[in-house]
Amino acid sequence: MPVRFALAVALCGVAFSADVRTVELIVAKVNGEIITRTELERERNRMADDLRKRGVAGAQAEKALADREKDLLREKIDNMLLVQKGKDLSISVDTEVSKFLAEIQLQNKIADQDKFQQWIRDQSGLPFEDFKSEVRNNYLTQRVIGQEVGSKVNVPKPELEQYYNEHKNEFVREERVFLREILVSTADKTDAEVPALEKKAKDLVERARRGEKFGELARDNSDSESAKNLGQLGAYKRADLAKPVADQVFDKDRGHVTDPIRVGNGFLILRVETVHKAGLAEFEEVQAEIMEKLYPPKFNPLVREYLTRLREEAFLEIREGYVDSGAAPGKDTGWKDPAELKPETVTKEEVAAQTKRKKLLWLVPIPGTKTKAKEKSSN
């Protein structure tokens, strides 16, 4: 199963007995939408499972869970407000959603649409339309942050150059090459089949050199496990590679695509993604890397400020005993008399009518929300 599609889904529903009227406790009301206690409990359980899978246990696990748990409600409110804002701004992400779903379908080689939707249900535990809605909300959240905050952040080139001149020791490199691959396998093939496979490899080289995206060619044609990651391999020193392979990739320019290389299990095609020459890297080589260092300290506080403004403008009530760690200073979010407003509890049907809110692991985190890497909350 592709890495991008690894999901940890927290369902909003609860188990209901046929003869029992079950109610759900509302923790927060956000512009007419609700966050329930079950959602927070499920998210806490998911975080605990993550820690166990990473081998974190005992007091260390308890501390890590406590540190993250205090921001659970904040993250739920953050993402609900961002999705609501995206809808207010009439931002459309339909193209991105369609492309993402098409990539999953192609990557997993499921041509039949009904079978694909069933596969989505099996993998995610969600009805297809709910899963699609979650994908849409994730893209929508990213677009709001990018449009409303990211577009306003600038790191001037002189500031980048200053960092480079003051931290040159960080940019002294060993000789390394970063590669992608396509493998046309000859395993279990007869001698008579090999020429056709070699021709396939040569055709793929020509297509890559004509400008087709190498990662997509790898995804659709490579017999290697790396196809699931668009052929990406990572970095190698010259000594890490067999000499016939090293001779074809070192001292080559970025974007160079090799001829097919005959290896034991097939024909290997490599693309040079980046080359680090030995010694101090030039500023132009590391400018993007420096930007990655200097951008977040400017960007993250602005995201938090923006989310605070959204809170100030929002109708927001939080039940006593629950804390929004991102609360807007001075804003009254106290729980009002439930007799005058919405009931404190809701039925199964009312909960089901709300937009389901779950977790996806394949997207970039929302900066400033302390969501862990490769994880993003979605509404």
Q: Residues 259, 305: one domain?
A: no
For residue 368, is pLDDT > 70? no
Indicate whether 95 belongs to any domain. yes
**CATH number of 32's domain:** 1.10.4030.10
Q: Residues 310, 260: one domain?
A: no
Indicate whether 160 belongs to any domain. no
Among 203, 178, 181, which Cα is nearest to 265's? 181
Q: Residues 140, 182: one domain?
A: no
Indicate whether 68 belongs to any domain. yes
Indicate whether 180 belongs to any domain. yes
Residue 356: per-residue pLDDT: 45
For residue 6, is pLDDT > 70? no
Mean pLDDT on 184-203? 93
- Domain containing 48 equals 3-153+290-377
Residue 13: per-residue pLDDT: 34
Q: Residues 223, 343: one domain?
A: no
Indicate whether 168 belongs to any domain. no
Indicate whether 162 belongs to any domain. no
Confidence of residue 371 (pLDDT cuts 50, 70, 90): very low
Q: Residues 295, 271: one domain?
A: no
Mean pLDDT on 16-20? 41
Instruction: Write down the pTM of the prediction.
Output: 0.65
Q: Residues 44, 127: one domain?
A: yes
Q: Work out how many domains the chain is built from and give that number.
A: 2
Q: Residues 236, 342: one domain?
A: no
Indicate whether 241 belongs to any domain. yes
**CATH number of 196's domain:** 3.10.50.40
For residue 16, is pLDDT > 60? no
Q: Residues 228, 94: one domain?
A: no
Residue 19: per-residue pLDDT: 45
Per-residue pLDDT reduced to its tens digit, 292-343: 999 999 999 999 999 999 999 999 999 999 999 999 999 999 988 554 444 4
Q: Residues 12, 130: one domain?
A: yes
String of b and e for 323-337 (b: at least 16 CB within 10 Å)?
A: ebebbbeeeebebee
Looking at every residue in the chain, the average pLDDT score rounds to 83
Indicate whether 221 belongs to any domain. yes
